[in-house]
Amino acid sequence: MKDFSGKIAVLTGGGTGMGRELARQLVAEGCSVAFCDVSVQAMAETKEICQQEAVQGTRLMTFEADVSDEDKVNAFADAVRKEFDTDHIHLLFNNAGIGGGGSIIDGDREEWEKTFNVCWGGVYYCSRAFLPMLVAADEGHIVNTSSVNGFWASIGYLRPHTAYSAAKFAVKGFTEALVNDLRVNASHVKCSVVMPGHIGTKIVDNSRALLTGSEDVTLSDDDLRRARSMLKTMGVPNADDVTAEEVTAFLEERARSFEEDAPTTASEAAKIILDGVKAETWRILVGDDAHLLDKMVREAPEDAYEQAFYDRLISESGWNI
């Protein structure tokens, strides 16, 4: 698919970050886009931006949906058929994701399962819902967003990261399995797995809002205990004495830094992804840090979860998350 003009794309997580930038770049090339998100306000902002930048005749639609809810996903697919009066789409970007559920041992089960169900379940449900419309097109492409955490299940030494990593490994494995499944059963449909490194997005803020149901940072006693434990592994002095107010300030600064100090912007990431689709690349690494980490894991897989590995990653990539 060398040209997106005149095509129809479906995109999840279109309210902010890479989803917003993918929508902007697609409509600028004349591709009509239907996107969903859990935030009506964020979607409205994305739609307004896209309307200003879209090629004339390009169509946009939004739909409120939590992709971990299969009924919502199926309703989204029905709405796309009705809104665009079509039986087919050309592009499916399974982009929605959240972080959370660090430990399966010392964490909240509801948060763990919510993270897993958004990051993996959303990809599965949307693929099921929209595959018939992709197969009905003359050409199609599925783009599933995994992560570097889809081949390296960590964000740092002694820092649990189980729900997100498990989900992203599932996304990667599913997409790789689709390569042959599609070749046998729908050879005109291609697929790609996207593995970003540190991209400047609002995922930290968005994840907290979805998992807590509020944009305010409110810490329970368990939250405070786990936060102190995390700070201790990060070498923060007197971590056991850190107050709730200090933890809140730390979390807010971390969210700001994650978006604003990232080595790769969401706009740059979106361009890499779309260029990869045009090139029919099934494996799309996003960011120099992603390429470095991929190389490091392949060279020394047994060392991937040791302190020296993470120290090297920080030194060579500039990571500070």
Task: Output the pLDDT for position 228.
Answer: 74
Looking at the structure of the chain, the number of domains it has is 2
Residue 224 domain-assigned (yes or no) = yes
Cα(319)–Cα(321) distance, integer angstroms = 6
Based on the domain organization, do 187 and 219 belong to the same domain? no
pTM: 0.88
Cα(129)–Cα(124) distance, integer angstroms = 9
Residue ending a domain, choose from 223, 246, 261: 261
Tell me the C-alpha to C-alpha distance, in Å, between residue 265 and each of 260, 311, 316: 8, 24, 19
Residue 3 domain-assigned (yes or no) = no
Task: Output the pLDDT for position 244.
Answer: 78
How many Cα atoms occupy the beta-carbon half-sphere of 152 within 13 Å?
30
Task: Output the pLDDT for position 221.
Answer: 76
Based on the domain organization, do 226 and 107 belong to the same domain? no
Task: Output the pLDDT for position 222.
Answer: 72
| Alpha helices by DSSP H, 192-300 | 203-212, 221-233, 244-260, 266-278, 288-299
Based on the domain organization, do 113 and 207 belong to the same domain? no
Based on the domain organization, do 117 and 244 belong to the same domain? no
Based on the domain organization, do 130 and 192 belong to the same domain? yes
Based on the domain organization, do 162 and 306 belong to the same domain? yes
Based on the domain organization, do 104 and 251 belong to the same domain? no
Residue 193 domain-assigned (yes or no) = yes
Task: Output the pLDDT for position 204.
Answer: 55
Residue ending a domain, choose from 261, 283, 305: 261
Based on the domain organization, do 101 and 238 belong to the same domain? no
Residue ranges in the chain whose pLDDT is less than 70: 202-219, 230-235, 253-255, 258-259, 320-321
Residue 1 domain-assigned (yes or no) = no
Cα(11)–Cα(20) distance, integer angstroms = 9
Task: Output the pLDDT for position 242.
Answer: 78
Based on the domain organization, do 102 and 210 belong to the same domain? no
Based on the domain organization, do 27 and 76 belong to the same domain? yes
Based on the domain organization, do 188 and 85 belong to the same domain? yes
Based on the domain organization, do 191 and 125 belong to the same domain? yes
Task: Output the pLDDT for position 164.
Answer: 97
Domain of 313: which CATH number?
3.40.50.720
Task: Output the pLDDT for position 34.
Answer: 98
How large is the greatest C-alpha to C-alpha distance in the chain, in angstroms? 62
Residue ending a domain, choose from 246, 261, 276: 261
Task: Output the pLDDT for position 245.
Answer: 81
Task: Output the pLDDT for position 110.
Answer: 95
Owning domain of residue 162: 8-201+263-317
